[in-house]
Amino acid sequence: MNHDAQMLRSQRRQRVNGLYAITPARLTGNALLEAVEAVVSNGASLLQYRAKPQADPRSAKAIQALCKQYSALLFINDDVDLAASIDADGVHLGRNDAGIEQARARLNAGQLIGVSCYNDLNRARALAEQGADYLAFGSIYPSPTKPDAVHCPLEVISQAGALHTPIVAIGGITLQSAPEIVEAGADSLAVITDVFEASDPGAVARAYADFFIDPNERPDVD
Protein backbone atom coordinates (compact mmCIF):
# COMPACT_ATOMS: atom_id res chain seq x y z
CA MET A 1 0.00 0.00 0.00
CA ASN A 2 1.47 3.34 -1.02
CA HIS A 3 1.78 6.35 1.26
CA ASP A 4 -1.31 8.12 -0.09
CA ALA A 5 -3.45 5.01 0.40
CA GLN A 6 -2.13 4.58 3.94
CA MET A 7 -3.01 8.18 4.71
CA LEU A 8 -6.52 7.76 3.27
CA ARG A 9 -7.10 4.60 5.28
CA SER A 10 -5.83 6.27 8.44
CA GLN A 11 -8.02 9.34 7.90
CA ARG A 12 -11.10 7.20 7.30
CA ARG A 13 -10.34 5.06 10.34
CA GLN A 14 -10.16 8.13 12.57
CA ARG A 15 -13.70 8.99 11.47
CA VAL A 16 -15.18 5.78 12.95
CA ASN A 17 -16.95 7.70 15.68
CA GLY A 18 -20.51 8.74 16.42
CA LEU A 19 -23.73 7.41 14.92
CA TYR A 20 -23.32 4.49 12.52
CA ALA A 21 -26.70 4.14 10.81
CA ILE A 22 -27.49 0.80 9.15
CA THR A 23 -30.24 0.61 6.55
CA PRO A 24 -33.07 -1.88 7.17
CA ALA A 25 -33.67 -4.47 4.47
CA ARG A 26 -37.33 -3.41 4.09
CA LEU A 27 -36.34 -0.04 2.61
CA THR A 28 -35.75 0.09 -1.14
CA GLY A 29 -35.91 2.58 -4.00
CA ASN A 30 -36.83 6.18 -3.30
CA ALA A 31 -37.97 5.41 0.25
CA LEU A 32 -34.48 4.12 1.02
CA LEU A 33 -32.78 7.17 -0.47
CA GLU A 34 -35.07 9.59 1.33
CA ALA A 35 -34.41 7.90 4.67
CA VAL A 36 -30.66 7.81 4.05
CA GLU A 37 -30.58 11.51 3.19
CA ALA A 38 -32.56 12.35 6.32
CA VAL A 39 -30.05 10.49 8.45
CA VAL A 40 -26.75 11.54 6.88
CA SER A 41 -27.87 15.16 6.55
CA ASN A 42 -28.52 15.17 10.29
CA GLY A 43 -25.15 14.05 11.50
CA ALA A 44 -24.70 10.31 11.02
CA SER A 45 -20.94 9.82 10.73
CA LEU A 46 -21.15 6.42 9.06
CA LEU A 47 -23.78 4.57 7.08
CA GLN A 48 -23.92 0.90 6.18
CA TYR A 49 -25.93 -0.18 3.16
CA ARG A 50 -27.41 -3.50 4.23
CA ALA A 51 -29.79 -5.16 1.77
CA LYS A 52 -31.02 -8.75 1.90
CA PRO A 53 -30.75 -11.03 0.02
CA GLN A 54 -28.63 -8.87 -2.29
CA ALA A 55 -27.59 -5.25 -2.59
CA ASP A 56 -28.65 -3.16 -5.57
CA PRO A 57 -25.64 -1.50 -7.24
CA ARG A 58 -27.73 1.44 -8.41
CA SER A 59 -28.99 2.08 -4.90
CA ALA A 60 -25.45 1.72 -3.58
CA LYS A 61 -24.17 4.39 -5.98
CA ALA A 62 -27.03 6.74 -5.11
CA ILE A 63 -26.39 6.23 -1.40
CA GLN A 64 -22.69 6.85 -1.98
CA ALA A 65 -23.48 10.21 -3.59
CA LEU A 66 -25.55 11.21 -0.57
CA CYS A 67 -22.84 10.11 1.85
CA LYS A 68 -20.25 12.15 -0.05
CA GLN A 69 -22.56 15.16 -0.10
CA TYR A 70 -22.95 15.07 3.68
CA SER A 71 -19.44 13.79 4.58
CA ALA A 72 -20.49 10.39 5.94
CA LEU A 73 -18.47 7.22 5.45
CA LEU A 74 -20.25 4.52 3.43
CA PHE A 75 -19.78 0.83 4.23
CA ILE A 76 -21.27 -2.01 2.20
CA ASN A 77 -22.54 -5.00 4.15
CA ASP A 78 -20.97 -8.33 3.14
CA ASP A 79 -20.39 -7.56 -0.55
CA VAL A 80 -16.66 -7.01 -1.09
CA ASP A 81 -16.96 -6.83 -4.87
CA LEU A 82 -19.65 -4.14 -4.72
CA ALA A 83 -17.63 -2.14 -2.20
CA ALA A 84 -14.61 -2.33 -4.51
CA SER A 85 -16.54 -1.56 -7.71
CA ILE A 86 -18.03 1.70 -6.42
CA ASP A 87 -14.98 2.52 -4.25
CA ALA A 88 -17.04 2.76 -1.07
CA ASP A 89 -15.22 3.84 2.08
CA GLY A 90 -15.30 0.28 3.34
CA VAL A 91 -16.99 -3.07 3.75
CA HIS A 92 -18.42 -4.81 6.80
CA LEU A 93 -17.78 -8.53 7.17
CA GLY A 94 -19.44 -11.12 9.39
CA ARG A 95 -18.37 -14.59 10.45
CA ASN A 96 -19.55 -16.22 7.23
CA ASP A 97 -18.18 -13.60 4.83
CA ALA A 98 -14.76 -13.25 3.19
CA GLY A 99 -11.73 -13.15 5.46
CA ILE A 100 -9.73 -9.95 5.94
CA GLU A 101 -6.79 -11.06 3.79
CA GLN A 102 -9.08 -12.20 0.99
CA ALA A 103 -11.13 -9.00 1.17
CA ARG A 104 -8.08 -6.75 1.29
CA ALA A 105 -6.80 -8.34 -1.92
CA ARG A 106 -10.05 -7.44 -3.71
CA LEU A 107 -10.54 -3.95 -2.27
CA ASN A 108 -9.02 -0.73 -3.47
CA ALA A 109 -6.17 0.80 -1.54
CA GLY A 110 -7.36 2.87 1.39
CA GLN A 111 -10.72 1.14 1.86
CA LEU A 112 -11.63 0.04 5.38
CA ILE A 113 -12.68 -3.38 6.65
CA GLY A 114 -15.00 -3.59 9.64
CA VAL A 115 -15.74 -6.93 11.26
CA SER A 116 -18.35 -8.51 13.51
CA CYS A 117 -16.87 -9.87 16.73
CA TYR A 118 -20.16 -10.72 18.50
CA ASN A 119 -19.08 -11.17 22.14
CA ASP A 120 -15.75 -12.85 21.38
CA LEU A 121 -12.62 -11.00 22.49
CA ASN A 122 -10.34 -13.72 21.12
CA ARG A 123 -11.91 -13.31 17.68
CA ALA A 124 -11.57 -9.53 18.00
CA ARG A 125 -7.91 -9.79 18.97
CA ALA A 126 -7.14 -12.06 16.01
CA LEU A 127 -8.99 -9.83 13.56
CA ALA A 128 -7.30 -6.71 14.90
CA GLU A 129 -3.93 -8.38 14.35
CA GLN A 130 -5.02 -9.19 10.78
CA GLY A 131 -5.71 -5.52 10.12
CA ALA A 132 -9.38 -4.93 10.87
CA ASP A 133 -10.20 -1.22 10.89
CA TYR A 134 -13.00 -1.47 13.42
CA LEU A 135 -14.38 -4.17 15.70
CA ALA A 136 -18.16 -4.47 16.09
CA PHE A 137 -19.57 -6.07 19.24
CA GLY A 138 -23.15 -7.08 19.95
CA SER A 139 -25.91 -7.63 20.46
CA ILE A 140 -25.62 -5.27 23.43
CA TYR A 141 -29.38 -5.48 24.05
CA PRO A 142 -32.09 -7.67 22.49
CA SER A 143 -32.26 -6.81 18.80
CA PRO A 144 -35.51 -6.72 16.80
CA THR A 145 -33.41 -7.13 13.64
CA LYS A 146 -31.60 -10.25 14.89
CA PRO A 147 -33.61 -11.68 17.81
CA ASP A 148 -31.37 -14.76 18.04
CA ALA A 149 -28.11 -12.80 18.20
CA VAL A 150 -25.71 -13.59 21.03
CA HIS A 151 -25.60 -11.14 23.94
CA CYS A 152 -22.48 -9.04 24.43
CA PRO A 153 -22.03 -7.61 27.95
CA LEU A 154 -20.76 -4.07 28.29
CA GLU A 155 -17.63 -5.30 30.04
CA VAL A 156 -16.55 -6.87 26.74
CA ILE A 157 -16.70 -3.40 25.17
CA SER A 158 -14.52 -2.08 27.99
CA GLN A 159 -11.98 -4.89 27.66
CA ALA A 160 -11.81 -4.43 23.88
CA GLY A 161 -10.32 -0.99 24.38
CA ALA A 162 -6.97 -2.69 24.97
CA LEU A 163 -6.95 -3.72 21.28
CA HIS A 164 -6.42 -0.10 20.15
CA THR A 165 -8.88 -0.45 17.28
CA PRO A 166 -12.11 1.56 16.93
CA ILE A 167 -15.00 -0.13 18.73
CA VAL A 168 -18.53 -0.23 17.32
CA ALA A 169 -21.44 -1.38 19.49
CA ILE A 170 -24.58 -2.81 17.91
CA GLY A 171 -27.84 -4.41 18.90
CA GLY A 172 -31.01 -2.93 20.40
CA ILE A 173 -29.40 0.44 21.04
CA THR A 174 -31.60 3.45 21.85
CA LEU A 175 -30.93 7.05 22.77
CA GLN A 176 -31.68 6.12 26.35
CA SER A 177 -29.06 3.36 26.46
CA ALA A 178 -26.42 5.21 24.44
CA PRO A 179 -24.66 6.95 27.35
CA GLU A 180 -23.75 3.76 29.22
CA ILE A 181 -22.45 2.12 26.04
CA VAL A 182 -20.20 5.05 25.19
CA GLU A 183 -19.08 5.22 28.82
CA ALA A 184 -18.09 1.55 28.53
CA GLY A 185 -15.76 2.49 25.68
CA ALA A 186 -17.65 2.33 22.37
CA ASP A 187 -16.46 4.81 19.75
CA SER A 188 -19.49 4.40 17.54
CA LEU A 189 -23.09 3.20 17.94
CA ALA A 190 -24.54 1.13 15.11
CA VAL A 191 -28.30 1.58 15.00
CA ILE A 192 -31.03 0.31 12.70
CA THR A 193 -34.45 0.27 14.37
CA ASP A 194 -34.22 3.26 16.70
CA VAL A 195 -33.30 5.47 13.74
CA PHE A 196 -35.03 4.08 10.67
CA GLU A 197 -38.27 2.97 12.36
CA ALA A 198 -38.73 6.37 14.01
CA SER A 199 -41.45 8.68 12.75
CA ASP A 200 -38.70 11.24 12.07
CA PRO A 201 -35.39 9.44 11.36
CA GLY A 202 -33.59 12.73 10.80
CA ALA A 203 -34.51 14.06 14.23
CA VAL A 204 -33.36 10.87 15.92
CA ALA A 205 -30.11 10.91 13.96
CA ARG A 206 -29.54 14.50 15.05
CA ALA A 207 -30.11 13.54 18.68
CA TYR A 208 -27.48 10.80 18.41
CA ALA A 209 -25.08 13.17 16.65
CA ASP A 210 -25.57 15.82 19.34
CA PHE A 211 -24.79 13.22 21.99
CA PHE A 212 -21.30 12.84 20.51
CA ILE A 213 -20.53 16.57 20.37
CA ASP A 214 -18.04 17.65 23.00
CA PRO A 215 -19.84 20.09 25.33
CA ASN A 216 -16.85 22.43 24.97
CA GLU A 217 -17.39 22.50 21.19
CA ARG A 218 -21.11 23.24 21.22
CA PRO A 219 -22.01 26.58 19.65
CA ASP A 220 -23.19 29.32 21.99
CA VAL A 221 -26.92 29.91 21.94
CA ASP A 222 -28.11 33.44 22.65
* Alpha-helix residue ranges (DSSP H) falling in 100-200: 100-106, 121-129, 154-160, 178-184, 193-196
Long-range contacts of 115-124 (CB under 8 A, 24+ apart): 116/92, 117/160, 118/149, 118/150, 118/152, 119/150, 119/151, 119/152, 119/153, 119/156, 121/156, 121/159, 121/160, 124/160, 124/163, 124/165
Question: What is the model's pTM?
Answer: 0.95
Residue 221 has pLDDT above 50, yes or no: no
CATH superfamily of 3-212: Aldolase class I (3.20.20.70)
How many Å apart are CA 168 and CA 184, to the nearest integer?
A: 11
How many Å apart are CA 27 and CA 23, to the nearest integer?
A: 7
**pLDDT, tens only, 30-51:** 999 999 999 999 999 999 999 9
Q: What is the mean pLDDT of the chain?
A: 94
**pLDDT, tens only, 70-105:** 999 999 999 999 999 999 999 999 999 999 999 999
Domain boundaries, the chain: 3-212
Residue 50 phi, psi dihedral angles, 5° rounding: -120, 110
| Residue partners of 66: CB distance under 8 A and separation at least 6 | 33, 36, 37, 40, 72
